[in-house]
C-alpha cells in the first residue's frame, strides 16, 4: 500500500492611536503604520513556524542517526514539504525515504533511517481507510472538503491525515495508523449521510486514480505557459498563482514562473489540482512544442 522513493543523504486589534485618528492625513498615516505592524507580525509568526519545523526535522534525523532507529514525521503538506526540501542538504546524513501511502501522493511522511544501514525494516505508519455510505441510494454527493471537514470535526490533527481520494459518495483516506481505529469507530456521518469506515487490508483493494491525458502546445515548456494551457486559463492568471505562492514542483515552492519543466515532474497548483508531464516534447511544423500531461483533479 506504500509507494516510496529514496534519496540520500487574528484579526488585528485597533490601538488607541487608530481610534483617535478619525480623518485626515494623520489618520491615514496611523492606519498605514498599523498595517505595517500587522504584516511584520505575520512574517515573524511565519518565520517562527518555519524554524520550529526545521528544528523538528533535525531532531528526528539526529535521533535516527545516533540511536540507530527509524523516525517519522507527521503528514506534510506542500508548504511543509518545501521547508524540508530547502533543508534537505543538512538532513541527508541520516538517509530518508518519502511516502504518502499511494502513488503521486500530495501529502507525505518522511522516514529517517535506511534498511541498509540499520539492518532491519519498519514500514511507514500509514493505513488506508475506506469511507462509504450505509445506504448509497440515499447518500449525498460528497466532496473532498466534506470528508475533510467531517474528519476535522472529530478533533483529529491535520498532520495525522494524508490524501483523501474522494469519489461521488465514498472516499479512501490515508492516515497515520495511530488514528485509523478512532476514525473507524467515530466517523458515522458526513453532512446528512450516515457512513461506515473500515481499514483496507490489501493495496489491491484501493482503486487506482486514473488521470486525464491532456495534449497541449506551447512555445516553450515554461511553467506558467504549461500551467495556463493545462487548466485553460490566461497567462496572466497563471502568473498570479506563482506570485501568490500557490505553485509547487515536486513538492518545492516554485516562485520562478519561467522555470523550464522537465518530463516526469509533478506540478501542484492549489485550487486546481496537479499534473505530471509525460514523455519528451516534440516540435510541431509550426515550431511549437507538443507535450502531454496526466491531469489529476
Residue 240, Cβ density class (10 Å: 0-12 exposed, 13-18 middle, ≥19 buried): middle
CATH class of 126-205: alpha beta
Q: Which residue has the higher pLDDT, 180 or 31?
A: 180
**Model confidence at 2: pLDDT above 70:** no
**210 falls in which pLDDT band (50, 70, 90)?**
confident
The DSSP result for 230-290, as a single string, is HHT--HHHHHHHHHTT-EEETTEE---TTPBP-TT-EEEETTTEEEEEEEEEEE-TTSPEE
**34 falls in which pLDDT band (50, 70, 90)?**
very low
Q: Of 3-12, 190-199, 274-283, where does mean pLDDT reach its minimum?
A: 3-12
pTM (global) more than 0.75:
yes
The CATH 3.30.70.330 portion of the chain extends over: 126-205
pLDDT digits (tens, 9 = 90+) for 85-144: 999 999 999 999 999 998 889 999 999 999 999 999 999 999 999 999 999 888 889 999
**20 falls in which pLDDT band (50, 70, 90)?**
very low
**44 falls in which pLDDT band (50, 70, 90)?**
low
pLDDT reported for residue 23: 41
Nearest residue to 192 via CA among 134, 239, 247, 258: 134
Query: 266 pairs with which residues across the strands?
Result: 276
Q: Averaged over 233-237, what is the pLDDT?
A: 95
pLDDT reported for residue 180: 97
The DSSP result for 109-136, as a single string, is EEEES-HHHHSS----SEEEEEEEESSG
Which is the CATH superfamily of the domain at 212-296? Answer: RNA-binding S4 domain (3.10.290.10)
How far apart, in whole angstroms, are the C-alpha atoms of residue 20 and residue 26? Answer: 10
Angstrom CA distances, 120 to 44, 69, 116, stand at 42, 9, 8
3-state secondary structure of 90: helix
The CATH 3.10.290.10 portion of the chain extends over: 212-296
Question: What does the angle CA 149 – CA 155 – CA 159 come to, to the nearest 5 degrees?
Answer: 80
Amino acid at each position: 500500500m506504500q509507494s516510496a522513493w529514496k534519496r540520500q543523504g487574528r484579526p488585528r486589534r485597533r490601538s488607541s492611536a487608530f481610534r483617535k485618528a478619525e480623518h485626515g492625513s494623520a489618520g491615514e498615516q496611523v492606519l498605514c503604520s498599523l498595517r505595517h505592524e500587522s504584516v511584520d507580525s505575520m512574517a515573524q509568526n511565519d518565520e517562527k513556524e518555519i524554524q520550529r519545523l526545521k528544528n523538528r526535522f533535525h531532531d528526528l534525523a539526529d535521533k535516527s542517526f545516533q540511536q540507530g532507529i527509524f523516525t517519522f514525521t507527521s503528514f506534510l503538506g506542500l508548504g511543509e514539504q518545501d521547508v524540508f526540501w530547502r533543508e534537505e542538504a543538512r538532513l541527508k546524513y541520516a538517509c530518508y525515504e518519502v511516502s504518502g501511502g499511494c502513488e503521486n501522493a500530495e501529502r507525505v511522511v518522511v522516514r529517517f533511517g535506511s534498511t541498509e544501514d540499520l539492518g532491519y525494516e519498519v514500514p511507514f505508519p500509514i493505513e488506508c481507510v475506506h469511507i462509504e455510505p450505509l445506504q448509497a441510494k440515499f447518500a449525498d454527493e460528497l466532496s473532498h472538503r466534506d470528508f475533510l471537514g467531517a474528519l476535522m470535526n472529530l478533533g483529529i490533527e491535520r498532520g495525522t491525515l494524508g490524501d483523501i481520494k474522494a469519489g461521488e459518495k465514498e472516499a479512501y483516506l490515508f492516515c497515520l495508523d495511530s488514528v485509523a481505529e478512532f476514525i473507524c469507530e467515530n466517523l458515522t456521518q458526513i453532512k446528512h449521510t450516515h457512513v461506515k469506515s473500515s481499514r483496507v487490508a490489501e493495496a489491491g483493494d484501493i482503486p487506482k486514480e486514473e488521470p486525464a491525458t491532456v495534449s497541449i502546445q506551447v512555445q516553450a515548456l515554461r511553467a506558467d505557459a504549461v500551467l495556463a494551457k493545462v487548466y485553460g486559463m490566461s497567462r496572466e492568471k497563471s502568473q498570479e498563482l506563482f506570485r501568490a505562492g500557490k505553485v509547487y514542483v515536486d513538492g518545492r515552492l516554485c516562485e520562478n514562473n519561467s522555470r523550464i519543466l522537465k518530463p516526469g515532474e509533478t506540478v501542484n497548483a492549489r485550487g486546481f489540482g496537479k499534473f505530471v508531464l509525460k514523455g519528451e516534447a516534440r516540435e510541431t511544423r509550426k515550431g511549437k512544442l507538443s507535450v502531454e500531461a496526466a491531469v489529476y483533479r
